Amino acid sequence: MSKIICSAAIRGAHKIVDMAEAKFEEAIKKYGPEHEVSYPNTAYFLPIIYSMLGAKVEKLGDMKDIFQECRTLLPAQVSENIWLPYLAPALDAGMATFFAEEMYEAIRYLETPDFYTKTEDPLENNIWLGAADDVIFRKRGVEFVDGTAPGFAAIMGTPDDNAVASRIALELQEKNLYIFMHDQTNGKNMAERLVENKVQVGWNTRLVPFGKSYTSAVFAIGFACRVAMAFGGIKPGDYKGNLIYNKDRTFAFIMAFGPVSDEWYANAAGAINWGFPTISDYDIPEILPTGICTYEHVVSRVPHDEIVQKAIEVRGLKVNVTKIDIPLSFGPAFEGERIRKDDLFMECGGGRTSGVEVLVSKDMSEVEDGKVTIEGPDIKDLQVGQNVPLGILVEVAGRGMQSDFEPILERQFHHLINYIQGIMHMGQRNIMWLRIGKAAVEKGFSFTHIGKVLHGKLHQEFGAIVDKIQVKLYTELDKVEEVQELARKVYAERDERLGSMTDETEEVFYSCTLCQSFAPSHVCVITPERIGMCGAYNWLDGKASFQINPTGPNQPIQKGDCLDEKLGRFKGINDFVDQTSRGAVTDLALYSLMNSPMTACGCFEAIAAMLPQCNGIMVVNRDYSGMTPSGMKFTSLAGMAGGGAQTPGFIGVSKHFMTSPKLFVAEGGLTRMVWLPKMMKEEIKDKLMERCKEIGRPEFYDMIATEENGTTEEEILAFMKKVGHPALEMEALV
């Protein structure tokens, strides 16, 4: 290795260990050796130290032995007149650097608890997130295993120009990489430049501002170590296994901008232990022979317009990104992007206008592959704030295509459209909601680009069953209503496929986690008698989805032992939800509103809420914009029921569930229903009246109030007394 680089790395390591040890001595005097230290909310202690040495640093006094290890690892400063092989000493110095920095950062958490936000996204007054806690780690770490995220770029410093910084970050996002940002160049850091350029940073966009100093690089390396232990089966203390796992499996690299300090060299030497090379735009010595890293170790003087591709090449990363022919960037990194009010150009659906999306299978002769058409005004014909209806009709044909597969392909619209930068999609079926940002329109985004995305990505992901795909988009109300009528028939046929199946006849239910990009702790459990709250997936759809994609969002769940038949609590379901929600939800009652209700993301067709004075339950659908007897409109209720949190008394539901025998079983069933919007009551009238007959109360349909009978609890209570509503005689809800 280069004598210049190695001598600088060893000098830097000595400086860092000295600095950290001085901080340790101050902390010992102030807090005492028994004072606890940790990275917040993690079971991995200080992860680099834990993974390399197997040592659990839990108290300040535990650091003493680690500093002794650092001193053992530190080689003597490089002499000017003696030439030796410097690889091993430099790598040891790099390892000592990470151990020292990890302890330094742990003491920072102790001395300045609010230095980092300890959140998933930046705060208004602080963009530095600090070490990822275990909730974030479990959610994101698995992506390094399943290929969703092949690796990460650890950024040191920043280009001098905001636009260049944004372009490099965007190019890395398009490769599906995470971007971990540290330190500054000439008083400026990359994260600040991105924020100034109105780029959203945070875990949701994979642009992670870990810390404002070089010592925060340990958060990136520590993340890689945790991936090896949690998902690679590497045991704490198995340093060789950890290093080899990351070299072979985590395609990470250091990208340095501007002058490289001794401290940066020390961190770069440490990263080489893991097989992570350094690519720099500055004029520094290069280390081109292969050795620890897959290819070169240090490559410098790389122009900004080539640096991302060069980093990919040097790391040996094989990125398979098919370019979609649209004027915007496209990839999973944009799935969690929100389009806020000030950035909004227009909306479709979501109660603002009519909106519907549906996929149907056709005969091969009826589909022209790649054809994308639009009837009605396109975005270029509209002004800011001019919302229009939108109907998306996708017609597919294929020798392996079955009608059972239609909803699985249709449900992909949600994440595929969200992959478009500057576009936000929520909901599905006839409650879909699309928000289009001003920046996307400025770059020439058209409705037809949605068709191109759906055509290209459905071919890629479902090429085994689909041969032809054409997309028709409509923005004229009469045409959208025609699609809605077609969709209602298709939805009804899908719902009827369940036939006589019940929750008792099946031992396996299915999960849906498609919406975890918006609500990370949400897990939808789909049963024969409880369609997904979005209304898009029933039990058969979940089964078909699992057949098509065994590692996808719809997984089988063994019910296991029944813990409470009335509430619908099962051991197997609780275990699955506990694991899949990453510990956020440990107990789930399938049939209850009041006890451990199911979580929701925000894509529900309707919301059920208790009305204490009425001793009953109201349900309001997304399309109803008026006041409800709860004192809240749908939008306010959505804040109570969504977000992936369990809120007793509030729950997201599908319209189909309103006539299920399992509706609110724990609270007494259908007879708890006291209020529905008239539009929803009319929509499900036939099935609801049939269900009333099944429970021996054919008159009950007329006992359910609507907004015509009142929109306050007092008014509904008076109506209930007038009609003799059975909820008045039932056990109190609260």
d(CA 181, CA 165): 11
d(CA 420, CA 333): 9
Mean predicted lDDT score pLDDT of the chain: 90
Cα dist from 669 to 424, 504, 616, 666, whole Å: 36, 17, 10, 7
| Torsion over CA: 188, 192, 198, 204 (sign) | positive
Smallest CA-to-CA distance from 39 within 255, 237, 225, 203 is with: 225
Question: Residue 644: is its pLDDT beyond 90?
Answer: no
Query: Tokens at residue 264, please?
Result: 């940066």
What type of residue is 134?
Answer: D
Specify the pLDDT at position 295: 80
Cα dist from 214 to 209, 281, 330, 723, whole Å: 12, 17, 31, 71
Phi, psi (degrees; rounded to nearest 5) at 508: -125, 130
d(CA 93, CA 71): 9
Ranges of H-type helices in 443-586: 447-462, 477-496, 539-548, 571-580
**pLDDT bucket at 321, cuts 50 / 70 / 90:** very low
Write down the pTM of the prediction: 0.55
d(CA 617, CA 676): 9
Strand partners, 211: 182
Question: pLDDT for 79-132, tens place per residue?
Answer: 666 555 567 889 999 999 999 999 999 999 999 999 999 999 999 999 999 999
What is the DSSP annotation of 327-387? SS-BSGGGTT----GGGEEEEEEBTTB-EEEEEEE--GGG--TT-EEEES--GGG--TT--
**pLDDT bucket at 320, cuts 50 / 70 / 90:** very low
Ranges of H-type helices in 80-235: 87-111, 134-141, 143-146, 162-174, 190-196, 217-231
Helix (H) or strand (E) segment spanning residue 508: strand 508-512
Which residues lie below 8 Å from residue 50, measured CB to CB, with a gap of 6+?
A: 44, 56, 57, 225, 229, 236
What type of residue is 9?
Answer: A
Q: What's the N-to-C CA distance of the chain in angstroms?
A: 72
Tell me if 293 sits within 8 A of 272, measured CB to CB.
yes
Cα dist from 610 to 506, 635, 651, whole Å: 30, 16, 10
**pLDDT bucket at 16, cuts 50 / 70 / 90:** very high
Tell me if 510 sits within 8 A of 544, measured CB to CB.
no
Sheet of strand 616-621, all strands in order from the earlier edge strand to the far edge: 650-653, 606-611, 616-621, 673-675
Question: Residue 244: is its pLDDT beyond 80?
Answer: yes
Q: What domains appear along the chain, each with residue ranges and CATH number?
A: 3-315 (3.40.50.2030), 335-477 (3.30.1650.10), 508-729 (3.40.1470.10)
Higher pLDDT, 402 or 698: 698
Tell me if 355 sits within 8 A of 390, measured CB to CB.
yes
Question: Residue 432: is its pLDDT beyond 90?
Answer: no
Specify the pLDDT at position 323: 65
Count CB neighbours of 403 within 10 A: 13
Smallest CA-to-CA distance from 97 within 272, 224, 257, 259 is with: 272
Question: Residue 237: is its pLDDT beyond 80?
Answer: yes
d(CA 29, CA 24): 9
Q: How many residues does the chain have?
A: 734
Query: Tokens at residue 628, please?
Result: 């409800």
Query: Tokens at residue 624, please?
Result: 């109803």
**pLDDT bucket at 316, cuts 50 / 70 / 90:** confident
Phi, psi (degrees; rounded to nearest 5) at 482: -65, -40
Smallest CA-to-CA distance from 153 within 81, 102, 93, 210 is with: 210
Question: Residue 239: is its pLDDT beyond 70?
Answer: yes
Question: pLDDT for 133-163, tens place per residue?
Answer: 999 998 899 888 877 888 999 999 999 999 9
Residue with the two structure tokens 């001085």 = 22
Question: Residue 692: is its pLDDT beyond 70?
Answer: yes
Least confident of 459-473, 569-583, 649-663: 459-473
What type of residue is 275?
Answer: G
Tell me if 278 sits within 8 A of 299, measured CB to CB.
yes
Least confident of 99-103, 171-175, 708-712: 171-175
What are the counts of helices (DSSP H) followed by strands (DSSP E) for the chain? 23, 22
Question: Residue 418: is its pLDDT beyond 50?
Answer: yes
Specify the pLDDT at position 500: 66
**DSSP label at 123?**
B
Least confident of 176-180, 351-355, 478-482, 585-589: 351-355
Question: pLDDT for 493-526, tens place per residue?
Answer: 876 766 668 889 889 999 988 777 667 888 989 9
